[in-house]
Structures are given as structure tokens and as C-alpha cells.
Structure 1
């Protein structure tokens, strides 16, 4: 009675709670159906803690109550919890129903466990849930099949997903969207467009997600003609002004080389997001217009102030660094960096320092680092990783070690594994190999193959065969299937004239089926021309 009276009224949650406490205190044998309804309503109104408390205190939990919790956990991203609860339910001997399976499949997809997913799918087939023999309604049957399809799609298993899709008697827009999305993810763009034509002939309505996937397909294969048709279809369907779709159009036109259409879509968008600006900015250097990209970068900072907002830091850093890498000349990027003046923040500084670092100009990178500090902008962890890498590639050992010490002493930033790795690389490249080993053993556990890889590279530069063999053996211990260390060790032997040992190592690598086809390799001032079948 109480449940019927307060159904659908959020304020009545307190009454639900009182009813639950009273019922369990004075009537421990409460009907499980009432408890399940109560559980469902708690979750409906977002009272997860109350739902968990009720579930934990239910004396007779049945498949319905378990299914409700499993489904809610999975739907809200608590995939491990949903699977743990399912395992507990099976241990108790409770057989899942169709609603349980939907939640379990969503949870499996979230965990990206192919083995577990296949096991659950096998159960679906075995119990007949797949063919709607137990499912009460057609919608729920579609839900199960779509969940299985989504699971295999999440795992990028095209063969399994295609089999499920082809065997589905009733496909809805979710089924088609999932399959098209999988084809796009695997870059089978032409197949995705072909599948879309089947939607149109089948009379199935399509939504924004389908249109966006099709736009992505056109971008991947550079099909401007079909891209324009999809754009027109989006307008006809009333999706033309949706921001996520607009952003996809900007990217599509840019990748197809039609910057005018891309800019037209961008300019006609009244509510631009950071994604909109980033898509347009990156479209210019992709088509050889670096200056326009940098001008637009200045414009977004002056007009929209996006990059100053803390929540935009990740996206803005991506934009800065991508532009620096694509602009062709770091000097041009530096000019724009100066132009933005007071709008410069730690992300801007990191981007320009990184730009000079990857171009081998360590001195300018260091000068910018100290200029950054003098301007009152505090370096962060990313700053130090960029500057240490710049020092390493430029051979500036003393500067690098000084800056590494400043990191902890002056700025109170705790070095990470990446920072320690940069110092090992710095010392190794400079020929300070014993110091690099001492440093690695002091600050690292000695099991990181990347650290030993840096040492091995240093041995190649300085012809230290003994240490190279030690480093290669340590790498092999951690990564026995790897092969790059064999090539490096071979190059070390060759660099000191031990060509027989070098050839033996390469042949052993070939015997293991690991030899990659190499063009030409440069070893310490002389060239070894390798036959592609070596």
C-alpha cells in the first residue's frame, strides 16, 4: 500500500526509508517483491547508499534484487562491483534472468574482458535468452542482443560482433549505430558507409551518433563528395546545428582538404567549444597553413579566454603542443608566444620549452625556463620533464643536474619515474655511464627496461661493450620477447669493430623471427648498408 501511494514522488524517499527500517525491524520476512520495489526506487532517485544498505540487510535476496543492483552498478560505471555481485549470485546458485544478463554484459564491456564476455555470451545462448524464449518483451530481447554487440564492439572484436549483428532478427537504431561505430574505430570507413546505405533502404531512422560516425568515415577516407551528402542529410534531419556534429564536420572538411567549408562551418557556429577551436586550429597546419593556425590560437586566447580556465588545461595543452609540432618552425611559434603576452600560462611555457627541446635547442629551452621563473610562473612536473629532456638531447649535463636539484629544493616538486629516467638518459648520452648506473640504483628499482634502454643507448654512443652486455641482459630479463635491445647491442659491437659478434647477434635475432626489415643504419660516423633480407 505504501509503495503505491508514494510511487514517483522524490520527497517520499524518507517515507521509503522509514518503511524499510520499520519493516525489517518488526517483520524480517517482508515480501522480497516489496523489498525489490523499494530497492529500485532508491536507485531511481540516486540514493545508492540507502539501496546498498537495504540490499545488505535483506534476509532473502532473490534474482530480482541481485539483478537490480547489478544493472545499476553496470549502468553507472561500477563495472567491477557489478561483476563481483554477479559472481556472488552464481555462487548462491541463483540463475540469471534476462535483466541480469543485460547488466552483466554492460559490466563485462566496461571491464573489457574478452574471456569473461564470451563466457557470459555462452550462457545467454545456452539458456535461450538470446532468442527471446524467456524474455518477456521484444524490447528486452533487443537490449540483450545490443548489449552483447556492444561488448564485442568495446573489445574491437569485429568477427564476433558481425556474427551477432547478422544473426539478430530485430535490429534497431542502437544495433546499427554500434556496428557502424565499430567499423569506424577499426578504420573500415567504406564498409561503414555501405552499412549506412542499408539503414536508409531498410527504413530505419538514424540519430546524431550515426551521422557523426558517417562524417568520421568520410574524414578517414577523404571522401569529400560523400561528406557533403552526409552534411546535407544532417541538416534535413535537424541535426545540423548540434555542436558535437558541427565539430565533426569541421574535422571532416579539414581532412578532406576543404578549408573554406571547414571555416564556414566554424564561423557559422555561435556556441563554439574548446573542441571547435582545436579542430579548426589543427586543420590549418594539416593543410600547410601554419601561420593561420597560430593566428587563430592567439584569437581564441584573446576572445574566448579558454586556455586560462583550469578545467581546460588538458585540452589546451594538447592544442599548444600539436600546433608547435605542426607549425614547421619553432621560431614562428615563439613569435606568437611573445604576442600573447600576459595571457601566457604554465601550459604555454611548457609548450614552447618542449618545442625548442624536441628541435635540439637546449640552450634556448633553458633560457626560457629561467625566464619563466623570473616572470613569476611556477614550473610544474611537465615543465621539468621537458627541460630535462632538452638538456639530455643537447648534452647539457651540468645544467640538467642543476635544474633537477632545483625541482625538489626550490619548487618542492617530487620527481617521478619519468624525471629520474630523463636524468639517467642525460648521464648516459654524455658518457657518464658509471654515474648513470649509480643514479639508477639509488632512485629506481633497477627493473625498468626503459632505464636500461637509456644506458644501452649511451653505450652505443660511447662504445662501452661490457656495460652494453649488462644492460641488454637486464632488458632481456624484463622483456624476453623484445628485440630492439639485440639491435642496439649489435650496433655497439659494430661501433668498436667487432663485426663478427654484431653479425652473430643479428642472425640470432633473425632466427627468433624478430628481425625487422631495415634500410640503412648509421653507426658512429660510418654507414653500414644492410640488405633488406639480412
Structure 2
């Protein structure tokens, strides 16, 4: 009956029938208990399982291997549950006692498997330590090659690196498996120096490395760019007979190629007796890394086997070297294209600025995942097509079941910030919080940028203050946002907080700081910050920083000092700096320096009519009408027209761009009728437009 109930997964019936069996004084045997215990296990009926355990002891089956193994399995499963930790430790103790009773009879390998299973289920350090105690005290030798490596690996998984060191140091007789567990843990924590140092200890102790050891050590040499140490490891590869090991050989090729030693990588490849598709891929990727696409393609054509990874490697090589024509040819003949292949090609078009082909390929795709959508959205974002970013994001939400990632949301928030689409940005903020991205660093940085660019400084500050973790971008975004919107004092206050928290400023930070000083008129303080870039942080000022100083002096009305600063700059002033100076001349009505700035701008941008417009406004304000007329002629002689400014507005969950006198919109007649109506209302209230101030004469 028990067997039949088990086969039909009628576990409750097994336990009920067992209770009847005991009440009727029928003695269970070595076949009864395992079936009843398995039913308790499947139901997670631990209380009933413990009662059955007491009957196991009563009826003398504590040393029965079949019964004991089932008990261990039941308690081990309890150890993987969400019970309080004290129960986990109780079950570990019970398992240890069962193991002690079974040790003389239970096969050694089976006992090891039980402890390995227990270790894999552990979530806390106390559990791991309790199991280690039982292993050493009751069951297995500390140098056991199965349980101890698992114990060490688990220590790294639960962030108990120092305890892993302690366990490792206490092992008297270490083998390659024990060392490999430590190497793997160090690699996961990017402790590459420790890998190399421990490998030296391994060799000194005459422990022979195996095929798993060398790749981990070589990867550490690669990450540290420690080519000399890598060559020494290579010599040991030859010494211990792993010259033809495909896994070791592929890692050697990767190391040499990444260090620019392609000839060494080729020699390793040529000396390998056995090569698999991974080896061929490593060598071809080595050529790609070093810009030798001809050799990469030649080897690709010779490869006896090509899997999708090898095809994608060659495809990506062409894309990274901006040879989209060859990439497309290869893509078109590629057999069994997978989604990764399509996404690689899609991102190739996007990153190389060919948005039209990116769109065409996206529409051809029969299957799309989040990387496909992100590729198209990212392509639009990187090429300044922010309206399409928002449109594609809405399409993704409406047409697919794909969920956005943080990369998606960051691109959308950036587009909202550039377009001033505040309402949609707020919706994305709510969406991000509801889908688990509330504390995501990248999303929070995007939100700060959005609110700052849209003038919602309080919202930007709230996001910043509520962030659990901040990086340099977080500080730079909020400081620059505050500075641009006239909150210079707060920007400087945050700069002080930034330094106190140990975050080192960079060149972008100082753009915000200098901008803050400029808006506040803090000339002396601005120069002090400018000098501290070099003296305290070893940051070489870039032309944008020099431009900030010119703006600082210009806003303060120190125009002659600004010209002197420009003349002494170690870099040649660009159009932005002279335009900044020209704008300051308009504010302070300095015609002489304005004419100097225009002459410099004519040399840099001879066909830019905007420069004439600005100086014309200065002449007009000074009522020098003769020069206004002269500039109008000079502007006409450039043969260029000033590009109209483009604005955007959110309308019905969308963003519409428009120019002055724009008639492209389908409802342009209704829009202009409404605009004329508003103008009539203003005029009726006594408003008189100042056409001179608006620069309508130019």
C-alpha cells in the first residue's frame, strides 16, 4: 500500500496509513521507514518526520544505510528551507549523528555527496561552520577532495573570504582541487594578485596543477596585464604536459593576443595538436583585437567547424572596425543566424550612425528581445533622434511583452531631458519605482539629469538625497544642474560634501563648480577652484574650463581682463569662448571688445550669420544705426542664413517639434488661429511688442 500510494504521490495517505500500522502494533521494517520518510519529505512535514525518526531508533534501524540515507535527505531538505537558523543547526547536528552511525556501512562517496548537498544549501556562515565541524569531527578527512573544495567555494559565495583563508590554512595536505576552489573564489572577487601569489605557493609545495588550474591563473595574468608572469605560467604549462589542452591553449592565446603579442598567440595555436572551435575562435578574436582583419578572415575561412559564436566573433570584428559593408556580406551568408547575430548587426548599424538601416533590420527581425529594442532605442539616442526614442519606447510597451531594463529607462530619461518631456519623464519615474528600479544607480542618475534639465531642482535634489549609493556621475549631475539653474551656493555646498565622502572630483565636476562661481559673481573663488584643479587633483584644464573662466569674467563685467586671459591661454580660443565674450559685451554694452570678438569669430566661422546678428544687436542698443546697416550687408554676403531655433512641446503623450513660422503640422491652421487669438488678447490688455529688443531688424 505504501508503495502504491508513493507511485500516485498520495503522501498524506502514506502517513495516515503508517499511523494505523503503529496503532495496530505492526512492526515496520527497513523498507517501510524510507517510504514514510520520503512522504514526510515531499510534504515538508518535518514534525511528523521527527516522530518517524524516533520510531527508527526505537525499532533498531539507526544503522540501516537505506533508512539513514533517507533521514539525511529529509533533514538536508529542511536545511534548505526558510526555517529559522536555529532549526537549520539542529538538523545539521542530527545529520551528523546519523552519519556517525552510518559511517561504517554507508559508502564513502555517498556520504560525501550528502555533505556536499548540505553545503550547497547553506546561506549563512554559522551553517557552513557547523557542517565543517561535523565533517572534521565525525566524517571525513579535512583534505577530502570533494567536500573541502565545496566548503571553500561556499565561503566565497556567502562573502566569507577570510574564513575561507582560515579553512585553507588549516589543511595539512592540499591537492589541486583545494587550490582550484581558492583560485575560483579569488577570480570571482577579482583578487587577481592573490591568484598569482597562491599559485606560486602551490608550485613551491610541489602540488601539480591540472587543466582547471592554468586557465584561472592565466586569466589573472591577463587581467593584470602581467605578461612576464604569464610567460612563466606558460613554461609550467609545457612542463606539466598541458601543451595540447584546448582549454589551456585557448586561454594562452587570449592572454598573448590581449597583450598585443599576436605572434606568440599564433605560435601557441600552431603548436596545439588538438584544436576545437573555441581555440579557433580565440585565435580569430586575437587577430580582431589587434586590428588584423585580413588574417582573422583568412583563418575564419580555414576553420573546419564554425559555430554561431565564431560567426558572431568575425561579424563583430568587422563592425568594431567600421566595415559595415563586409559585415553585411558576412551576415547575409551566415547559416542558422540566432537572435544574438541579429542584435550584433543591429547594434553595428546603430553605433555607426546608420539609423535607417538599423530601422530596416529591426523590422526584418522575426523575433526580438530586450537587446533588440535597446539596440534600436540606443541607436536613436546616440544619433540625437530623441522623438523616435520615446516613440519606440511606447511601441515596445504596447506591442511586446518585453520588460524594459535600466539601460532602456536611462535612454528614455535622457531623451525626455533633451526634449523637455517632463510629464513622460515623471511617468517613467513612477514606472521605474514600480518595477524594481527605485534604487538603481543608473536610473537615479538619469532622473537627476531629467529633473535638473527641466528646472525641477527640488525633485532632482530629492532623488539625489534618497539614493542609497552614489557615484561620480551622481555628484556631477546634481552639482552641474544646481549651478546652471542659479543655485550656486548649494552646488558649492554639495562639492564640499562630495569631498568629505571621499569621492574624487574630475574635470566635469569643475565645470559645474566654475559655472556656480560664474552665476554668483565669485571671481576670486572661481580662480582658486580653477587653480586647485591642477594643484590638488592633477587635472589638466580643458578648453571648456577656460571658457568658464571667460564667462566668469564676462558676467562680472571684467571684459578687458577676460580678453587678456584669452590671449594668455595655452590653447587657442574656439568659437564658444569668443561667442561667450561677445554675449558679455552685449550685456555690458562694450562695442570695442565686441568688434574684436566678431573679427575672431569671422576667422573661425566665416559663414555663420549668428555672429553678425549678436553684434548688430549691440550696435542697435547703442543706436549706432550706420553699423547696423553695414552688418546687415555683411551678413547677406556670407551667403548663409541663420538657422531657426527649434522648440518642442508635450501634446497628448507625445512631443512635437516646431520652428518659427512652421507650417508642417497637420493642424497648423488651427494652431495659428489660436495664436492670433492670444495675440489679440495681449494687445487688448495694452501689451506692445518691442521689436528692437527682439532683434527683428536683422
- Say whether 1:117 aligns with 2:125: yes
1:386 CA drift (Å)? 1.3
Question: Which residue is 1:9 aligned to?
Answer: none
Pair 499,408 (structure 1): closer, same or farther in 2 beyond 3 Å: closer
1:507 CA drift (Å)? 1.3
**How far apart, CA to CA, are the structure 2 residues paired with 1:293 and 1:495?**
50
Question: Which residue is 2:359 aligned to?
Answer: 369
**How far apart, CA to CA, are the structure 2 residues paired with 1:299 and 1:424?**
47
1:184 CA drift (Å)? 4.7
Task: Choose which of 416, 420, 428 in structure 2 pairs with 1:427.
Answer: 416
**How far apart, CA to CA, are the structure 2 residues paired with 1:260 and 1:471?**
53
Runs of 5+ unmatched residues, structure 2: 1-5, 8-13, 55-61, 63-67, 101-110, 516-528, 538-698
- Say whether 1:212 aligns with 2:215: yes
Question: Which residue is 2:96 aligned to?
Answer: 97
1:145 CA drift (Å)? 4.5
Task: Choose which of 503, 519, 522 in structure 2 pairs with 1:515.
Answer: 503
Task: Choose which of 330, 340, 364 in structure 1 pairs with 2:331.
Answer: 340
- Say whether 1:349 aligns with 2:349: no
Pair 93,49 (structure 1): closer, same or farther in 2 beyond 3 Å: closer
* Aligned pairs for 1:225-244 within 5 A: 225-235=231-241, 239-244=242-247
TM-score, scaled to structure 2: 0.55
- Say whether 1:531 aligns with 2:533: yes
Question: Which residue is 1:272 aligned to?
Answer: 276
Pair 85,372 (structure 1): closer, same or farther in 2 beyond 3 Å: same
Residues 470-503 of structure 1: CA deviation (Å, up to 9, x unaligned): 1231242242766743432211122345433321
Question: Which residue is 2:154 aligned to?
Answer: 151
- Say whether 1:80 aligns with 2:68: no
> The residue matched to 1:252 in structure 2 has which SS?
helix
* Mean CA deviation greater in 139-148 or 169-178: 139-148
State whether residues 250 and 262 of structure 1, in contact with CA within 8 Å, keep that contact through their aligned partners in structure 2: yes
- Say whether 1:469 aligns with 2:458: yes
**How far apart, CA to CA, are the structure 2 residues paired with 1:405 and 1:299?**
46
Question: Which residue is 2:252 aligned to?
Answer: 249
State whether residues 105 and 148 of structure 1, in contact with CA within 8 Å, keep that contact through their aligned partners in structure 2: no
Root-mean-square deviation (CA, aligned residues, Å) is 4.8
1:151 CA drift (Å)? 2.5
State whether residues 259 and 283 of structure 1, in contact with CA within 8 Å, keep that contact through their aligned partners in structure 2: yes
State whether residues 343 and 375 of structure 2, in contact with CA within 8 Å, keep that contact through their aligned partners in structure 1: yes
Residues 320-354 of structure 1: CA deviation (Å, up to 9, x unaligned): 796478x3x3x225532333323265433322332
Pair 283,103 (structure 1): closer, same or farther in 2 beyond 3 Å: same
TM-score, scaled to structure 1: 0.69
State whether residues 250 and 266 of structure 1, in contact with CA within 8 Å, keep that contact through their aligned partners in structure 2: yes
1:259 CA drift (Å)? 2.6
> The residue matched to 1:160 in structure 2 has which SS?
helix
**How far apart, CA to CA, are the structure 2 residues paired with 1:379 and 1:272?**
31
Question: Which residue is 2:388 aligned to?
Answer: 399
Pair 495,174 (structure 1): closer, same or farther in 2 beyond 3 Å: same
Question: Which residue is 1:164 aligned to?
Answer: 167
Runs of 5+ unmatched residues, structure 1: 1-12, 15-20, 41-47
**How far apart, CA to CA, are the structure 2 residues paired with 1:366 and 1:523?**
36
**How far apart, CA to CA, are the structure 2 residues paired with 1:304 and 1:85?**
53
* Aligned pairs for 1:411-490 within 5 A: 412-418=400-406, 419-438=408-427, 440-441=429-430, 445=434, 447=438, 450-458=442-450, 462=453, 464=454, 466-479=455-468, 484-490=473-479
1:232 CA drift (Å)? 0.9
**How far apart, CA to CA, are the structure 1 residues paired with 2:89 and 2:32?**
20
**How far apart, CA to CA, are the structure 2 residues paired with 1:32 and 1:266?**
63
State whether residues 346 and 377 of structure 1, in contact with CA within 8 Å, keep that contact through their aligned partners in structure 2: no
Pair 155,491 (structure 1): closer, same or farther in 2 beyond 3 Å: same
Report how many residues are paired. Answer: 471
Larger-gyration structure (1/2): 2
Question: Which residue is 2:693 aligned to?
Answer: none
**How far apart, CA to CA, are the structure 2 residues paired with 1:108 and 1:93?**
8
- Say whether 1:306 aligns with 2:307: yes
Pair 297,506 (structure 1): closer, same or farther in 2 beyond 3 Å: farther
State whether residues 253 and 268 of structure 2, in contact with CA within 8 Å, keep that contact through their aligned partners in structure 1: yes
Pair 407,212 (structure 1): closer, same or farther in 2 beyond 3 Å: closer
> The residue matched to 2:239 in structure 1 has which SS?
helix
Question: Which residue is 1:6 aligned to?
Answer: none
> The residue matched to 2:533 in structure 1 has which SS?
coil
State whether residues 391 and 426 of structure 1, in contact with CA within 8 Å, keep that contact through their aligned partners in structure 2: no
Pair 332,32 (structure 1): closer, same or farther in 2 beyond 3 Å: farther
